[in-house]
Amino acid sequence: MKLCLTLALALLTLPFASSPAVAGESGLISTPSKHSVAETVARLEAAIGESGDFTVLFKLDHAAAAAKVGSPIKPMQLVLFGNPKAGSMLQAAAPTIGLDLPMRALVWEDAAGKVVVTVNSAVWLLGRHGLAAKADISAKIDARLAAFVQKATE
């Protein structure tokens, strides 16, 4: 178990560029942050809140949960957020997208101490649920995600 976790962490912490990058077919977009995990999360929550149509719904501190069971990990927080109007429209078209909504951003620290924000590409996400024809919507969502992440990381 520990070896698997170590290997998974090593794969996640491969060197990354200073600009956002989509990791192949996984749909993951990872962006390095200039701030700590806590500061990046606070900045992300502020950006989402300022948008007017997206809302932060939940925040999970993975590192705090791991520490409670004696299994410490690097700082890592998951922020769940959404736009109920857009989300309900997508769920009406493809109920399975409810597995991936609300949207989420993982803010984590790698083995070298660098902080990263990782989100799912909306293009990938909608394609996964058979909504690839809604390219106009996925492009808008990806643009909003990019704006939130940029405000959080710069």
Closest Cα to residue 90, out of 136, 39, 147? 136
pLDDT in tens, 39-66: 999 999 999 999 999 999 999 999 999 9
| pTM passes above 0.75 | yes
111, burial (CB in 10 Å: exposed 0-12, middle 13-18, buried 19+): exposed
pLDDT in tens, 96-152: 999 999 999 999 999 999 999 999 999 999 999 999 887 888 889 999 999 999 999
